[in-house]
Structure formats: C-alpha cells, structure tokens
Amino acid sequence: MRALGLDLGAKRIGVALSDREERVATAIETITRSRNGRAADHRTIAELVEEWGVDVVVVGVPLSLDGSEGPAARLVREEIEELHAALPVPVDTIDERFTTVTADQQLRDQGVRGRRRTAVIDRAAAAVLLQAWLDRRRGRAGGRQ
C-alpha cells in the first residue's frame, strides 16, 4: 500500500510519499496554491494519487497545543471534506502539531539554510506527518515490520 501525505497551508501544500512497504515517508513536492481555488489544487493532488498509485491520502490537522480545534484546524477539516469528494481514495488525518518545528530542526541539522529551507519546509513537514502516521499504523498492527 502507498500513502500520500499532505501538509495543507494557505500558500503551499507540502507533499510526501511512502514506499509500498509503508516504512519510510519521503518529501517529494511542494504545490503552490492555485489562484483558481482549491478545486484546482485538488485536481493536482488527484493527479499525484493516480501517478504514484496511492491507496490513501493522509492530511495533517493543525490542532492547538491543548489538542482542541482552532480556526486553522477547522479550515483544514473543511478542505478534507472537499478532498473526500475529489479523490478516488480514502482520506485519513493525523495530528500535525510540531511537524513544521520538527521539519525545520531536521533541515537545520542537515545544513539547509535561508531561502532553500523555506522552499522545502512544507514538503519536509508533510514527510514528518506521514512518517508519524506510518509509525502509528505499524504500532497498531502489532509491531509489524
């Protein structure tokens, strides 16, 4: 099974992809939000689902530090409903608190600086959230490796 991870932002969408064994998430792309609205973005995502043979799309939900849903999380939930209708595969969610912070630290540790880091942070955050989802699934499957 292959999963596609999405970090939905106002200006950009970070995209990550798992391997078929569901072990590793890899950052693959950053989609710049279309001026034509979310439907255009969702068509781009649907094309990626088809191109990569994706079985499930995982979207990070930006919960508040206390775990509640604030305005940003409500906007993402709204878009997730649209994705359910636009995509031919199931859409799952994961708490994405701290994914951008984690991705930023990983990029700093790798020596990625300035504009280069800004250019890849969204896809790196998508990889972090997708990896957490993969790890959680493996844990639920009784430690399957």
Q: What residue type is 131 in one-letter code? A: Q
In the chain, what are the domains?
Answer: 3-140 (3.30.420.140)
Residue with tokens 């955050």: 125
Residue 17 has a CB neighbour count (10 Å cut-off) of: 21
Q: CB pairs under 8 A, 24+ apart, for 17-20?
A: 17/52, 17/54, 17/130, 18/130, 18/134
Q: What is the number of helices (H) and of strands (E) in the chain?
A: 4, 5
Task: Specify the amino acid at residue 31.
Answer: I
Please give the mean pLDDT across all residues of the chain.
86
Tens digits of residue pLDDT in 60-108 = 998 777 778 888 889 999 999 999 999 999 999 998 866 665 666 665 6
